[in-house]
Chain A
Amino acid sequence: MKGMAKYILHRLVLLIPVVIGVSFLIFFIVNLAPGNPAQMIAGAEASMEDIQRIEEELGLNKNIFVRYFEFMRDFILHGDLGTSYYSDKAVVTAYFERFPATLRLAASFIIVAVALSLPLGILAAVKQYSIIDRLSSFVALIAVSMPNFWLGILLILLFSEKLGWLPSGGDKYWYSIILPALTIGLQMMALMTRMTRSSMLEVIRQDYVNTARAKGLSEKIVILKHALRNALIPIITSAGSLFVDCVGGSVVTETIFSWPGVGKLLVDSISKRDLPMVIGFVTITTIVITICNLGIDIIYALVDPRIRSQYASGK
């Protein structure tokens, strides 16, 4: 366990270069992109002086490396990621105002997706080529093959436009979450069912599973204890990456449903060329996601003693 703690600390220290790397990458991509944000703020009919004045106010006339240095200095010393060009709101404040909505969306369906896809995937693998396997594979294939923006639009067409049961966007009522969550959740479930099935099939033919059966253990214990535990790593990988993608903001889904999460705000910021917002958001998202990924790695170690022993030996 001491090796584990050391490992976590090690990873947290490694987070620093990742954050610096990401902010550097995004800072330069965004700043070197064509299109002058000062021009956007000033409007199409602004004079050259107006544009220059705004550039000076925003510090856009300075050298890009100087600006990056100032950006990192403020971030490291004050945790300050700058201020939006448009709303005069601190980027950090703006992000965490929107974050709960995104987190709510991500959490609400990862739980349902895991709860449904694990048993479905296991069943499909254990009874390979049975009706359950075929049916679940079929449903999963259809769901996974639908682009989520299309699925979202079809859900809107059916439940909002035709039936009028659910709102087509926004976050006004408690049930507003149902359609966007379904849009992500159905696909998440489909992906995870497939992953669970193929991962279980991988281990189910291993010798130790046969051995467990030969020892006279019940089928339930063989599957749940001997096979599932060994099949968990790929399942956790896929569940984890899906969750992480959602936490980072399901840009498309949030855009379709005007869901007031971080993904939607980011798309808006990009189209307005609100540079500090874009850079700051990606930087914060990075930190959030890296911590989530660390969590996934810790789960690996909890699940698989072979990985745990690697940590213990100080690798």
Chain B
Amino acid sequence: MSTNSKPQVGKKRSRAAETWRRLKKNRNAMIGLSLIIIIIVVALAAPLFIDYETQVINQNIAERLQGPSLKHLFGTDNLGRDIFFRILYGARISLLIGAVSCLICCTTGVALGAIAGFFGGKVDDIIMRCFDILLAIPSTLMAIILVAAFGTSLFNIILAVGIPTLPQYVRIARASVLTIKQQEYVEAARAIGATNFQIIRTHILPNCLAPVLVQATLRVATVIADAAALAFLGLGIPEPTPEWGGMLSAGRAFLRDYPHTVLFPGLAIMITILALNLLGDGLRDALDPKLKK
């Protein structure tokens, strides 16, 4: 066992380095990564430069619905608040929702999917039937019902947009495992006496890492979009907290004459999701082991 594990660690490290080397060459992925880093920095640094009380939530009817100008970079909303500042602050909420819900659901989902696919039989049946119940309810619908029922606190929203993504991870992990466990090298590993846990850890999980990772990056994006959609439907974190979807929804009434109230919050959501998608795509290409020379 112990003689076996050392070269394993070395191999893994070189794989991560190799992935990073390839990722660095991918311009799109680097653009995505840079954008994400910028958004994270902006989200973290926002309170240092912007005063929440006076510049983000303070209403100023005298300056309502102004177009973009030097004073108000993205103009003002129907309550006279600076849209640029609100968008910068809104990044905090969106990123938090995306990261936390993805982290919780990805790990849970993949673990359950791998177990279901690997062991098959009764275990598979029980896990998959439970998730069939969740999967049978459309994700937006489930999120809406959860939030409508339990209220629009931040944690409720994180769970509400996250829980419906669980079955996706389970299905993907399970599907990869089902294909991989039929392969000869898994049979060979079993033949030389590897335990189930070893096989799952060293052969199956690394091999379904690529689809799961790509899925996870995409899911952070959809979770952020879903949370924004909830806010758009009036089920987001309540006013006056700046939330991109909520800002968009508020601006909709003024769409015809003041499109900037809708354009900029939407753009913020799009750029965030775009960055995650670029990185996800890049990761996919970089992780594909079949590209290795």
User: Which residues of the partner chain A approach B138 to less than 8 Å between Cβ atoms?
Assistant: 244-245, 248-249, 251, 285, 289
Tell me which residues from 1 to 44 in chain A have a Cβ below 8 Å from any Cβ of chain B: 14, 17-18, 21-22, 25-26, 29-30, 32-34
Residue A302, interface by CB 8 Å: no
A128-182 interface (Cβ within 8 A of B): 137, 141-142, 144-150, 153-154, 156-157, 161
Q: Counting CB contacts under 8 A, is A232 at the interface?
A: no
**B residues 125-170 in Cβ contact with A at 8 Å:** 129-130, 132-133, 135-141, 144-146, 148-151, 168
Q: Is A205 an interface residue (CB 8 A)?
A: yes
| Shortest Cβ distance from A32 into B: residue | B149
Is there an interface contact between B144 and A270, defined as CB atoms closer than 8 Å?
Answer: yes
- When the two chains form their complex, are residues A33 and B149 in contact, meaning their CB atoms are under 8 A apart? yes
Give Cα A293–Cα B141 distance, bound, in whole angstroms: 17
> Is B221's beta carbon under 8 Å from chain A?
yes
A286 and B130 alpha carbons, distance in the complex (Å): 13
Bound complex: CA A293 to CA B256 (Å): 41
**Would B233 and A267 count as touching, CB distance under 8 A?**
yes
Identity of the chain B residue whose Cβ is nearest the Cβ of A263 in the assembled complex? B141
Partner of A147 from the list B168, B229, B259, B290 (CB cut-off 8 Å) is B229
- CB < 8 Å: which of A30, A153, A270 contacts B262? A153
B182 near A21: Cβ-Cβ < 8 Å: no
A251 interface neighbour in B141, B221, B252, Cβ under 8 Å: B141
On chain A, the residues within 8 Å of B120 by CB distance are 315
In the assembled complex, the Cα of A307 lies from the Cα of B176 at a distance in Å of 13
Among the listed A22, A30, A142, A285, which residue makes an inter-chain contact with B274, where contact means beta carbons less than 8 Å apart? Answer: A142
Q: Which residues of B contact A34 (CB under 8 A)?
A: 151
User: What CA separation (Å) do A306 and B181 show in the bound complex?
Assistant: 13
Shortest Cβ distance from A280 into chain B, in angstroms? 13
Q: In the complex, are the beta carbons of A282 and B141 less than 8 A apart?
A: yes
A315 to B121, CA, bound (A): 8
Instruction: Give every chain A residue within 8 A of B67 (Cβ-Cβ).
Output: none
Q: How far is the CA of A226 from the CA of B135 in the complex (A)?
A: 32
B186 on the A face (CB < 8 A): no
In-complex Cβ contact of B133 among A21, A145, A156, A194 (8 A) = A21
Question: Is the interface on chain B under 10, 10 to 19, 20 to 34, or 35 or more residues?
Answer: 35 or more
The reply on B212 being an interface residue by CB < 8 A is: no
The answer to whether the Cβ of A201 comes within 8 Å of any Cβ in the partner chain is yes
Interchain CB contact under 8 A, A22 and B141: no
Taking the complex as formed, is B91 at the interface, i.e. its CB lies under 8 A from any CB of chain A? Answer: no
- Rounded to whole Å, the gap between the CB of A121 and the closest CB of chain B is 13
Contacting pair B266 A252 (CB below 8 A): no
**Contact in complex: A270, B148 (CB < 8 Å):** yes
A29-B273 contact, Cβ under 8 Å, with A149-B232, A153-B255: no
A293 and B135: CB pair below 8 A? yes
Interface size band for A = 35 or more
- Chain A residue with Cβ nearest B221: A145
A255 to B273, CA, bound (A): 22
- B259 near A205 with CB under 8 A, answer no
Known: A237-B171, A290-B136. A150 touches B148 (CB 8 A): no
- Those of A263-298 within 8 Å (CB) of chain B: 263, 266-267, 270-271, 278, 282, 285-286, 289-290, 293
Decide if B269 touches A150 in the complex (CB within 8 Å).
Answer: yes
Contact residue among B133, B168, B281 (Cβ-Cβ distance under 8 Å from A137): B281
CA distance A33 to B132 in the complex (A): 24
CB < 8 Å neighbour of A249 from B141, B228, B266: B141
Which residues of chain A come closer than 8 Å to B284, judged between CB atoms? 198
For the complex formed, measure the closest distance between the CB of A25 and the CB atoms of chain B, giving whole angstroms.
7
Query: Are B270 and A146 in touch, CB under 8 angstroms?
Result: yes
Given contacts A144-B277, A267-B233, contact A286 B262 (CB under 8 A): no
Contact B290 A205 (CB under 8 A): yes
Whole-angstrom distance between the Cβ of B220 and the nearest chain A Cβ:
12
Of all chain B residues, which has the CB nearest A168? B255
For B132, the chain A residues whose CB sits under 8 A away are 14, 18, 290, 293
Query: Taking the nearest CB of chain A, how far is it from the CB of B33, in angstroms?
Result: 15
> Is B175 on the interface with A (CB-CB < 8 A)?
yes
Name the one of A14, A161, A206 contacting B255, with C-beta atoms under 8 angstroms.
A161
With a cutoff of 8 Å between Cβ atoms, the chain A residues found around residue B146 in the complex are: 29
Contacts of A263 in B (CB 8 A): 141
Answer whether residue B214 sits at the interface, using C-beta atoms and an 8 A cutoff. Answer: yes
| B270 touching A147, Cβ below 8 Å | yes
B187 interface residue per 8 A CB criterion: no
A286 touches B136 (CB 8 A): yes
Confirm or deny: B114 has a beta carbon within 8 angstroms of a beta carbon on chain A: no
Measured between beta carbons, the chain A residues less than 8 angstroms from B266 are 146-147, 150, 153-154
Asked, given contacts A147-B225, A289-B136, whether A141 binds B141 with beta carbons under 8 Å apart, the answer is no
Q: Evaluate contact between B141 and A25: CB separation under 8 angstroms.
A: no
Q: How far is it, in angstroms, between the C-alpha of A196 and the C-alpha of B133 when the chains are bound?
A: 28
Interface residues of B in 198-247 (CB under 8 A from A): 211, 214, 221, 225, 228-229, 232-233, 245
- Using A18-B133, A149-B228 as known contacts, list a sample of 10 further A-B pairs with CB atoms less than 8 Å apart, ordered by residue number in A: A14-B132, A30-B149, A147-B232, A154-B262, A198-B214, A205-B291, A233-B175, A252-B232, A282-B145, A285-B141
The 10 listed contacts between A and B (C-beta, < 8 Å) are A33-B150, A142-B270, A148-B225, A149-B232, A153-B248, A157-B259, A248-B137, A252-B232, A271-B148, A285-B136
Q: Which 3 A-B pairs have the closest CB atoms?
A: A248-B138, A33-B149, A150-B266
